[in-house]
């Protein structure tokens, strides 16, 4: 069914985001860019999560009409 397909795809997108997020935070920490790490983990990552959440919500409302 379409709902299962959509849920699977959204889960894949979120998992990809969290892998990217973890790698980015780790790289910044390992390169000892602690100021950049603090900005990324304290601000940027939350903005990106919010944008992904909002995009998913808008997609669900406009395209899937759920």
Domain boundaries, the chain: 2-62
Question: What is the model's pTM?
Answer: 0.86
Name the residue among 65, 44, 60, 61 with its Cα closest to residue 7: 60
| Model pLDDT, residue 65 | 80
- Weakly modelled stretches of the chain, pLDDT under 70: none
What pLDDT score was predicted for residue 22? Answer: 98
Cα Rg, the chain, nearest whole Å: 15
3-state secondary structure 28-65: HHHCCCHHHHHHHHHHHHHHHHHHHHHHHHHHHHHCCC
């Amino acid at each position: 069914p379409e709902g299962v397909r959509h849920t699977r795809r959204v889960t894949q997108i979120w998992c990809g985001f969290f892998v990217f997020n973890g790698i980015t935070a780790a790289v910044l920490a390992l390169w000892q860019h602690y100021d950049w790490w603090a900005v990324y983990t304290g601000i940027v990552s939350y903005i990106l999560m919010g944008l992904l959440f909002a995009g998913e919500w808008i997609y669900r409302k406009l395209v899937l009409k759920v």
